[in-house]
């Protein structure tokens, strides 16, 4: 063994020697404990079959069975040259087999061949890791809103489907909150779209700070945000939405040297509910709660509960007396003669095409709330 080591080192190889099979396993971290991080591993193992404590066949088997180890080529050297012995050695995990007396030129050729294979495999693994990282990044891009960095609508719809199926399977409640900044269009008109973008980014961060770790926060479209609250009852979701509304009302948004104040309206819907049979109905209910909040004077939270508040009809009529009872906020309640959602940003007609399609006629769920009439507050002063 000493002669072989000296001849290999004379040809530029760095070597280390294990005196028995147990020491060999300890050297690569395959015995009783893994190696400490950063401990170098051999690039190749030249393994004798006749070893004390643990024979070479068993050493090879344990090393190859250890999933935490990278690919380490193993050449078994032995005086046993029968076909049966070679089969046992190769089946144990050895990558090559050489018989004694060892011809050094042949051994070097086998070492170079296996090191070449190891190098190619490592390159394949590096490329696979790079491709996985790129794929992960593409998935994140596909599921993230570019402006705010939170979930986009596509991701929200996937989360909604997953949460609904989970809640239905375990019979657990969950709720969603549809939020919309009041009079957001006047921010763009008065300060420019860059200021509006910054307000949306700061609002997204504020919503994330108030949400639980298990909640999903995303931008549904324009200045509208949707929050998915797994395990939350309708009452708990209303309380949460009210807390967010107050936080937005108290928040001063900033852009450059400009400060901007805005309020937020929210619609809340929850499952289980006899009138909500699927995800589409749940989102539509929360959206109509938001419609009622806008029609009721903005800066308020409205829970949708058809059993108590009635439907918001096709004609876009404002909330009923029962709707007012479901209004949870202490915001302004001035009389509004018609729908006020038009002045709160972009028309939502450009985001209504989605997998959450309207239910067929006769389902008893509210409709409307997607169309917006002409902007009545376009000339409102900033901060109104």
pLDDT digits (tens, 9 = 90+) for 143-180: 999 999 999 999 999 999 999 999 999 999 999 999 99
pLDDT value of position 79? 86
Mapped onto helix, strand or coil, the DSSP state of residue 170 is helix
* Average pLDDT value for residue range 302-322: 48
For residues 192 and 106, what is the distance between their CA atoms, to the nearest angstrom? 76
Which range among 274-278, 279-283, 318-322, 328-332 shows the weakest confidence by mean pLDDT?
Answer: 318-322
Contacts with 66 (C-beta within 8 Å, 6 or more apart), sequence order: 28, 29, 30
CATH code reported for the domain at 144-351: 3.30.70.270
pLDDT tens-place string over residues 194-250: 999 999 999 999 999 999 999 999 999 889 999 999 999 999 999 999 999 999 999
* Average pLDDT value for residue range 346-358: 36
Q: Between 286 and 86, whose confidence is greater?
A: 286
326 pLDDT tier (thresholds 50, 70, 90): very low
pLDDT value of position 1? 67
Give yes or no for residue 113 having a pLDDT over 50: yes
Task: Return the percentage of the chain with pLDDT > 70, whole number.
Answer: 79
pLDDT value of position 78? 85
Average pLDDT, the chain: 81
Q: Which CATH superfamily is domain 2-140 in?
A: Response regulator (3.40.50.2300)
pLDDT value of position 89? 87
Q: Which of 157, 198, 223, 280 is catalytic?
A: 223
Annotated active-site residue 223? The verdict is: yes
For residues 2 and 18, what is the distance between their CA atoms, to the nearest angstrom? 12
* Average pLDDT value for residue range 103-111: 92
| Strand order from edge to edge, sheet including 301-303 | 216-221, 224-230, 174-181, 264-271, 301-303
Give yes or no for residue 357 having a pLDDT over 90: no
Give the count of beta carbons closer than 10 Å to the beta carbon of residue 119: 11
Task: Return the percentage of the chain with pLDDT > 90, whole number.
Answer: 60
* Average pLDDT value for residue range 355-377: 40
Q: How, if at all, do strands 301-303 and 264-271 pair?
A: parallel
182 pLDDT tier (thresholds 50, 70, 90): very high
- Ordered by start, the domain boundaries in the chain are 2-140, 144-351
Give yes or no for residue 125 having a pLDDT over 80: yes
Which range among 23-37, 113-127, 360-374 shows the weakest confidence by mean pLDDT?
Answer: 360-374
Name residue, tokens 């998935």. Answer: 139
| CA geometry: angle 305, 309, 312, nearest 5 deg | 95
* Average pLDDT value for residue range 9-23: 90
* Average pLDDT value for residue range 88-114: 91
* Average pLDDT value for residue range 46-66: 91
């Amino acid at each position: 063994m000493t002669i072989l080591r000296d001849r290999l080192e004379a040809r530029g190889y760095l070597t280390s020697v294990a005196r028995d099979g147990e020491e060999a396993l300890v050297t690569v971290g395959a015995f009783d404990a893994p190696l400490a991080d950063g401990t170098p591993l051999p690039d190749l193992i030249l393994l004798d079959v006749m070893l004390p404590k643990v024979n070479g066949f068993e050493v090879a088997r344990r090393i190859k069975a250890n999933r935490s180890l990278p690919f380490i080529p193993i050449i078994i050297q032995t005086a046993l040259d029968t076909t049966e012995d070679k089969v046992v050695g190769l089946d144990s995990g050895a990558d090559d087999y050489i018989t004694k007396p060892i011809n050094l030129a042949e051994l070097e050729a086998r070492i170079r061949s296996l090191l070449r294979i190891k190098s190619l495999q490592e390159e394949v693994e590096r490329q696979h890791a790079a491709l996985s990282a790129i794929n992960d990044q593409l998935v994140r891009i596909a599921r993230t809103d570019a402006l705010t960095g939170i979930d986009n609508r596509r991701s929200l719809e996937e989360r909604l489907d997953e949460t609904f199926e989970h809640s239905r399977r375990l019979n657990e409640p969950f709720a969603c909150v549809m939020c919309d900044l009041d009079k957001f269009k006047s921010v763009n008109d008065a300060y420019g779209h860059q200021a509006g973008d910054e307000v949306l980014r700061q609002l997204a961060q504020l919503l994330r700070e108030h949400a639980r770790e298990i909640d999903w926060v995303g931008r549904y479209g324009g200045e509208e945000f949707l929050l998915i609250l797994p395990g939350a009852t309708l009452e708990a979701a209303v309380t949460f939405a009210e807390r967010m509304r107050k936080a937005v009302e108290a928040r001063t948004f900033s852009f450059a040297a400009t400060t901007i104040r805005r309020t937020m309206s929210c619609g809340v819907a929850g499952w289980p509910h006899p009138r909500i049979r699927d995800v589409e109905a749940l989102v539509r209910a929360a959206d109509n709660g938001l419609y009622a909040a806008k029609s009721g004077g903005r800066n308020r939270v409205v829970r949708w509960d058809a059993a108590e508040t009635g439907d918001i009809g096709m004609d876009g009529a404002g909330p009923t007396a029962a709707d007012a009872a479901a209004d949870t906020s202490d915001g302004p309640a001035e009389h509004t003669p018609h729908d006020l959602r038009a002045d709160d940003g972009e028309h939502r007609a450009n985001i209504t095409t989605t997998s959450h399609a309207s239910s067929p006629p006769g389902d008893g769920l509210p409709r409307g709330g997607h169309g917006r009439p002409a902007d009545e507050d376009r000339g409102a002063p900033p901060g109104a």
